[in-house]
Chains A and B, each alone.
Chain A
Amino acid sequence: MTWETVIGLEVHTQLNTRTKIFSGASTDFGAQPNTQACAIDLAMPGTLPVLNEEALRKAVMFGLAIEAEINEISAFERKNYFYPDLPKGYQTTQLEKPVVVGGHVEITLADGSAKSIRIHHAHLEEDAGKSLHDDFHGMSGIDLNRAGTPLIEIVSEPDMRSAEEAVAFAKKLHAIVTSLDICDGIMAHGSMRFDVNVSVRRPGEPLGTRTETKNLNSFRFMERAIEKEVARQIDVLEDGGEIIQETRLYDGDTDTARAMRSKEEANDYRYFPCPDLLPVEIDQAYIEAVRATLPELPDPRCQRFVEQYQLSEYDAGVLSENAATARYFETVAAECNDAKLAANWVMGELAAKLNSEERDIETASVTARQLAGLIKRIKDNTVSNKMAREVFDAMWQGEGEPDGIIEARGLKQVSDSGAIEAMVDEVIANSEKQVENYRQADAKKRPKMLGYFVGQVMKASKGQANPQQVNEILLRKLDELL
């Protein structure tokens, strides 16, 4: 008998507002600890929150993008618990009346099939600070720079049936929020963090007991954490055991997971309406004004790529997935006027480099304009594809513009037919045996034997001869000898 996996996600998405959700302090990442925490973020006595309208607007944008309802009245509540990096002793969040209710996100799986994942709701809340345990002997440090950073917590229905679907959903959310420019999408900065609710059941049976694995900050870790948890639950059940409802932690570095607390140990958060913040009224005029500012979303963009650039569905999907990649691709395509080559390079060489260095396209060492410049040199036969890869590497290392690198490294392709003819003549003269074999050979076998001569000429040209021309000239000269 098989098991069916049921997965629901809670996605903490940091909104890229300039200032915090309830204070005027900056939200920039990476500043010295506690330099971006004002009296409000520190929960000094007598300080009060004021809602950042920009955070609300971005939450509404998300709601409209997923075709959700926007609550006419949304309200903030206090979620009470003690933790040193939670300065007020409560988190200001939403419970009964979130900004965004319902909606759906379309995902495409590797086999090409499509699925709609329903969204339960998305609510606005503030992020907590960070506890730093490593730098202080026997003590912990508290950094409140992150405290008060605006988040939307996006809560899905339990509509996913595999780790693959969960990852596809998470990536699609990433594509949506970056396309909307409401989140910078930088996973390494914790801009998107996932809590996964996992249970298993026999098909057709009611939902099994679920566990929640918290705070996963990469797609890969999320995938691994789900796979491991599914395997663990199936093991437990097949051994006749029971799943305990609990919160779990997954450590990506060691690929291990452990239980953090059970349902019995769970906090009673004692939610109640925050008396410092009035309920937010969102009228239809406001919603329409926000709707008018919605940028192109991943799905329509994918369709446009197929039509405008004649890309395959797959290529269009990859390139339109997030706003930064789409922007990069379209810049390259426009500058070099060759969408196919632009797509190949962005999905090939560039993606490989970004992957191996775990970087985002925004921080790529080669700009779209530089890549377009290189592609132009491929198109006008200045460099071969192989040489172009060398130029790309050099650009990645910061050696400058493509033309300069081609010049400095002497990578210019030899397209001067006189020079190539001379090299061909020399190779033929020095390859009596191979020429004789070629002459004797069956006409069908000759194209295969041509490779040897091409290789020799390329070697003689130190790889700079235009391979197309070498082929043509060789064929002509060898045929003359038949």
Chain B
Amino acid sequence: MHQKTLAELREGLIKREFSSVEVTQHFLERIARLDERFNCFISVTEDAALARAREADKTLAAGGAPALCGLPVAHKDIFCTRGVRTSCGSQMLDNFIPPYDAAVVENFNDAGVVVLGKTNMDEFAMGSSNETSWYGAVKNPWDVRCVPGGSSGGSAAAVAAGMAPGVTATDTGGSIRQPAALCGITGLKPTYGRVSRWGMIAFASSLDQGGPMARSAEDVALLLNAMASFDPRDSTSAERAVPDYTADLSTDLSGLRIGVPREYFDEGLNPATEQVVREALRELESQGAVLKDIDLPHAKLSVPAYYVIAPAEASANLSRFDGVRYGYRCDAPADLPDMFKRSRAEGFGDEVKRRILVGTYCLSAGYYDAYYNKAMQVRRLIKEDFVAAFADVDVVAGPTCPNPAFEFGAKGDNPVAMYLEDIYTIAANLAGLPAMSLPCGFVDNKPVGLQLIGQYFQEARMLNVAHRYQQATSWHRRMPPDID
């Protein structure tokens, strides 16, 4: 059952080959049995899931069920869920039970999903390895000595290990694509503004974007259909119709112009990874796509620009966690400053504190122009690079990450080495472009991801490319060995 794609599960449910309760029980059983090894879940909502599944079965029997009726999913613990603890991977919110649902959670509920639980993540989505979670790191199902990537590591590993057929995630600087690549699954970061940020705990508001992860591009398209919406509660939400992302999945690729950025095949790219990615590009070429070398001259500046802008926004976004109204408050504060200082010093982990300090510094009087303003200028140049490139190509393709999954602790002492793992993913966030990662092979038995970057609001085009690739290959069908 867990080897089926969401699309296959959906078909089985509609044909009543199995019930939503059976599917839900199957995944709950796997979570109960396997999650001790992988630590993908912060909360499992078993009773609520089964109640929803029973309801879904009635709806399915009655006919006219909504698109995702009865399908089990899990939400990254960054999305607020009414009545269910939403921790954001932090001690700060370990006791936080939101009285409201995130827009994404509402949309999924409307589509009829069954929520299995909340997935583990780097604390406040700050990390590329899932090692910063207060609830402990998630293990990569392909090799438990390795990281699953981050920050949506719990979501990615849950799909990879067959504990959920589809999940939600967020991507501020690669947090969907990098763990999707490292865990051998498919994940998509939509255009900034396509998915409402209402109820999604903010890390860097101008970069954060929610998106789906699943085994296949088709599954991702199904999930994105439910996830995307215009939301007047989010002022940055795009007021434009949501297309059917499954409609053009099978469109022929002949004549499709694929831009291959020279800068994404630089000396920082693992040669074995490069080989795998080049092979994937050749497959697309064999289907009629035309590969064109392109230049993104400012791409190399994306990491430094990102590590100014994201921490700057985070330094303000995380100020609300002050121990006054909700969340962690230190014991017996001596006075007000003591309460602020100790609640935040004790409630946040090291990486979060590092980024708050960096962001605060970048915005300080005397440094603002040199850091924040300069980074914003770089951001504009990066965006212009893409606009220029997209004059000649339809989709940009390259590696998602420079290396396959690395071992725990390998980059713990060197934040910059860790940050460089996001070198190919961050530019799409800075430009606000949609981008995705799909499995395209292995290096040392660890998955490698192919990244696609699309034009604004052209998610369907990327999904079309990914789906055609997956029709011709089976990398997305591989399951990690030795799990059951």
Contact = CB atoms under 8 A, between A and B. Distances in A.
Interface stretch (B65-73, B126-134, B321-329): B321-329
Interface stretch (B35-43, B232-240, B242-250, B441-449): B232-240
Interface string A76-116: 00101010100111100000000000000000000000000
A42 B327 CA distance: 13
A35 B325 CA distance: 14
Interface string B65-103: 000000000000001100000101000010010111010
Interface string A176-196: 000000000000000000000
Contacts of A140: 336
Q: How large is the interface on A (under 10, 10 to 19, 20 to 34, 35 or more residues)?
A: 20 to 34
B319 A89 contact: yes
A82 B322 contact: yes
Contacts of A271: 363
A80 B372 CA distance: 15
Nearest to B92: A45
B235 A46 contact: no
A386 interface: no
B360 A88 contact: no
B259 interface: no
Given A87-B320, A278-B235, A45 B80 contact: yes
A253 to B, nearest CB: 24
Contact of B320 (A43, A142, A268, A272): A43
A182 B235 CA distance: 25
A90 B316 contact: yes
Contacts of B424: none
A44 B326 contact: yes
B197 interface: yes
A82 B429 CA distance: 29
Interface stretch (B135-143, B201-209, B392-400): B201-209
B320 A88 contact: yes
- Dominant SS among interface residues on chain A: loop
A31 interface: no
Contacts of B102: 46
Contact of A46 (B202, B363, B364): B202
Nearest to A131: B336
Interface in A266-311: 268, 270-272, 275-278
Contacts of A47: 198-199
B205 A46 contact: no
A67 B321 CA distance: 42
Interface in B293-320: 312-313, 315-316, 318-320
Given A44-B98, A84-B336, A270-B368, 19 more contacts: A44-B325, A45-B202, A46-B86, A46-B201, A49-B235, A80-B315, A80-B363, A88-B319, A89-B320, A90-B319, A142-B325, A270-B316, A270-B360, A270-B363, A270-B365, A272-B316, A272-B368, A276-B235, A276-B236
23 contacts: A44-B100, A44-B326, A45-B80, A45-B98, A46-B80, A46-B102, A46-B197, A48-B198, A48-B235, A50-B235, A80-B319, A80-B363, A82-B322, A88-B319, A89-B320, A270-B360, A270-B363, A270-B368, A272-B372, A275-B205, A276-B202, A276-B235, A278-B236
Interface of B: 79-80, 86, 88, 93, 96, 98-100, 102, 197-202, 204-206, 232-236, 312-313, 315-316, 318-320, 322, 324-326, 336, 340, 360, 363-365, 368, 372
